Structure 1
Amino acid sequence: MIRHIAIALLLSLTLTACGFQLRGSTPLPASLNPLLIQGIDIESPIGAELAQLLGESGVTLTRQTSAAAAILRLHNHRVDRRVLSVDSNGKVAEYELHEMLRFELVSKANAQLIPAQSVGVVRAYVNTEEQVLGKQQEEEMLRQDMQRDLADQLLRRLQTQLK
């Protein structure tokens, strides 16, 4: 019994020593509060996802430039779909979905805290003519998943670069 406790303690010490943390458990600096998000509607799917993740990381959001301690500027949010492959009849066999977003973080005084950079997500799915409705639903689910991943990538970049 004591041996099991010692092993568990040793494993937990090893994990904390290597810097392991659960995703989303790293708070962002308090100096970002309150944060203004510019360039995207906060009620859009990607905006709502980002707002939720920022809130979980201890960031309060504002809609007023004068009240903001920092400004997260989002640019060039692009959503694309392209043909990945065609079958022997020349019909689309696979699609590839892309979602990209450029961002930068500046202080209230417009000093650059994080330079402009991009995050992006790519997914592919098989297209079959027999399941048109099912494929539309699959694409919508993939897009929702991509938006979550994109917001998560952006948050991890903020956490990493503001340490």
Structure 2
Amino acid sequence: MFSRRVETVRSGLPVSARGWTWLLIALLVAALASGCGFRLRGEVEIPKDLTPIYVDSNPGSPVRSAIGDLLAGSEVHLTENPAEARLRLRILSESRSSRVAAVDANGKTLAYELHYVVRFDAVSPDGAQKVPPQTMDLVRNFDNPDVEVLGKQLEEDLIYQDFATDAADRILMRLRAVLN
């Protein structure tokens, strides 16, 4: 009983009133977030008459995999059969590259600039161009210290995975902008 009394005195409100205050704040935040157009990331607004979508890419494409992950749980469905598709998203090319961004006085590389270039378009089943060919070049700097060589290779691989997810997200945003 003593500890409850101390807690009540510290905050200035009884324990039950504090709970209601937090509930009221949470409801207010939820109301404001829904009123401003906020949506969870998994929701993709591509017209329903264009689903299912066939993603035409090289086997093992990281962008294709990321698109599938981003569309999981949404109303937009992917198909493995191009004949069923109402929209064909073509990943025309994907490439990774790096270039030296900084060197020290001895010529040792201190930083790299990593590039991930994706070229894509979208066509309807009859071949009409829905989204013209577009190219995305994602760039990030990558420090290269002398220590932790194995860790740096893993970090570079993770950056390229992030690039693929970011590219997939941007492709879906561009599809939504053009097709709505």
Structure 1 residue 114 corresponds to structure 2 residue 131: yes
Per-residue deviation, residues 99-153 of structure 1 (Å, max 9, x unmatched): 1111111111112222221233211111012221121111111111111111111
- Aligned residue pairs, count: 162
Determine which structure has the larger strand proportion and give its number. 1
Counterpart mapping for 1:125-140 below 5 A: 125-140=142-157
Q: Structure 1: how far apart are the matches of 2:134 and 2:77?
A: 23
SS of residue matched to 2:72: helix
TM-score using structure 2 length:
0.76
Residue 116 of structure 1 aligns to a residue in which SS?
strand
1:61-102: CA deviation from partner (whole Å, max 9, x where unpaired) = 223222211100111212111111111111110011111111
Structure 1 position 46, deviation (Å): 2.4
Structure of larger gyration radius: 2
Q: Which residue of 1 aligns with 2:90?
A: 73
Specify which of 20, 34, 42 is matched with residue 38 of structure 2: 20
Unpaired runs of at least 5, structure 1: none
Fraction of identical pairs, as percent: 38
Describe the SS at the equivalent of 1:67: coil
Q: Could you tell me how far 1:18 is from its partner in structure 2?
A: 3.7
Structure 2 distance, partners of 1:8, 1:136, is 43
Matched residue type, 1:133: L
Are 2:112 and 1:92 equivalent residues in the alignment? Answer: no
Check whether the contact 1:38–1:74 (CA below 8 A) recurs between aligned residues.
yes
Aligned equivalents of 2:177 and 2:32: distance in 1? 21
Structure 2 residue ranges without an equivalent (≥5) = 1-16
In the alignment, structure 1 residue 40 sits paired with structure 2 residue 89: no
RMSD over aligned Cα, in angstroms?
2.3
Question: Which amino acid is the alignment partner of residue 149 of structure 1?
Answer: D
